[in-house]
Amino acid sequence: MPGKRLIINATLILGLLLAAYLLYKVFSRYSLDEVIQSIAAIPVSRLAAGTGFAALSYLCLTGFDWMGLRYAGKPLSYPKAAVASFTGLSIGHNLGIAALSSGAVRYRYYARWGLNTEEVAKVILFCGVTVGIGLSALAGIALLVNPGDAANLLHLSSSGLFFLGLACLGIPAVYVLLAGTVRAPLKLWKWQFQMPEVKLAAGQVVIGTLNFICVSACLHQMLAAQGEASFVQTATAFVLANIAILLTHVPGGLGVLEATVSHVLPGAASIGALVAFRVIYFILPLLIGLPVFAISEIVIRKRKTASSEKHADQTADAQAQPL
């Protein structure tokens, strides 16, 4: 166990250092004047709406963990699930490979609350599947509703995009069907996956899709403030960018998001819009999540120290009692 704790602590320390580096990388690509002028051109109402959609997205993400804990057979209260989810994902979104980076933070919380390593892994797997299902559902909708912009990037025919869209929508449909009919663990190579109950599976589809709709809406508020961009176009660009980010695991999607959105929506993807989106959805949650995690570590450490000292005092008193 000491070796596992050492690995977890080392991962968290490296993650915090990388998070600080990413803050520098995000803003070093632009001059301060460019950033200030571009963001200042975005109406306050758009910034407020974008912040609201970002908050709704993180609210959806807390639902991932809340359901995942029930899937793992270790239901916790919503506040506990929300703290672990938000803290882990506010850091994990910026570091890339969220299953590992946010997973290390989640492990710190859930291990304190009685979950073992296997149960934490089930929660993380459940959340990862929910992300994939939500992205697949929104991708299918975007490809069927807005094939033109997708064709420019994917270089597929209209019929190819139509069948690709149907396939994307078919993934969550088949997933729910399997959840309602298959009770034995599914085997994929060396791994086994126990399907959740059909209610949880349906919840994954709904909340997973809502999450990506909210993130797309946040990005749309920024793009629409400085150019012509419909919500459907923004959602298409965001879905394609996320697929590229998941394939590359670039920390925070740096460069990948900007390049994809600029290709799909060249008239709306201004510096200010993209930087404002990155600040609202990535940087602000990170600036909140890091202190919350640090405070929780300090509080827990103090409680452990106080508990150890109390136990030592009780042991000493018991030994001092005359026979």
pLDDT in tens, 211-269: 999 999 999 999 888 777 889 888 988 888 887 776 655 555 566 677 777 777 776 66
Residue 289 has pLDDT above 80, yes or no: yes
pLDDT recorded at residue 249: 57
Q: Which residue has the higher pLDDT, 77 or 263?
A: 77
**pLDDT tens, residue by residue, 150-170:** 777 677 787 888 898 999 999
pLDDT score recorded for residue 150: 78
pLDDT in the model for residue 7: 61
Residues 6+ apart with CB under 8 A from 89: 58, 61, 98, 102, 285, 289
Per-residue pLDDT tens over the stretch 31-42: 667 667 767 888
Q: What pLDDT score was predicted for residue 66?
A: 97
Among 83-87, 136-140, 293-297, which is the least confidently predicted range? 293-297
Mean pLDDT in residue range 68-93: 93
What is the predicted pLDDT for the residue at 154? 72
* H, E, C per residue of the chain: CHHHHHHHHHHHHHHHHHHHHHHHHHHHCCCHHHHHHHHHCCCHHHHHHHHHHHHHHHHHHHHHHHHHHHHCCCCCCHHHHHHHHHHHHHHHHHHCCHHHHHHHHHHHHHHHCCCCHHHHHHHHHHHHHHHHHHHHHHHHHHHHHCHHHHHHHHCCCHHHHHHHHHHHHHHHHHHHHHHHHCCCCEEECCEEECCCCHHHHHHHHHHHHHHHHHHHHHHHHHHHCCCCCCHHHHHHHHHHHHHHHHHHCCHHHCCHHHHHHHHHCCCCCCHHHHHHHHHHHHHHHHHHHHHHHHHHHHHHHHHHHHHHHHHHHHHHHHHHCCC
Mean pLDDT value of segment 41-64: 94
Is it the case that residue 183 has pLDDT exceeding 90?
no
Q: Does residue 310 have a pLDDT over 70?
A: no
- What does the block give as tokens for 170? 């078919």
Percentage of the chain surpassing pLDDT 70? 74
Share of the chain above pLDDT 90, in %: 38
pTM: 0.81
Separation in Å, CA 38 to CA 22, 33, 222, 247:
21, 8, 11, 30
- pLDDT of 105 strictly over 70: yes
User: Mean pLDDT throughout 183-201?
Assistant: 84
* Residue ranges per structural domain of the chain: 31-295
Q: Assign 94 a pLDDT band (cuts: 50, 70, 90).
A: confident
The reported pLDDT for the residue numbered 50 is: 95
Q: Say which residue, 45 or 270, is predicted with more confidence.
A: 45
Write down the mean pLDDT value for the chain.
Answer: 81
Decide if pLDDT at 144 tops 80. Answer: yes
pLDDT at 198 over 90: yes
Residue 83 or residue 256, greater confidence: 83
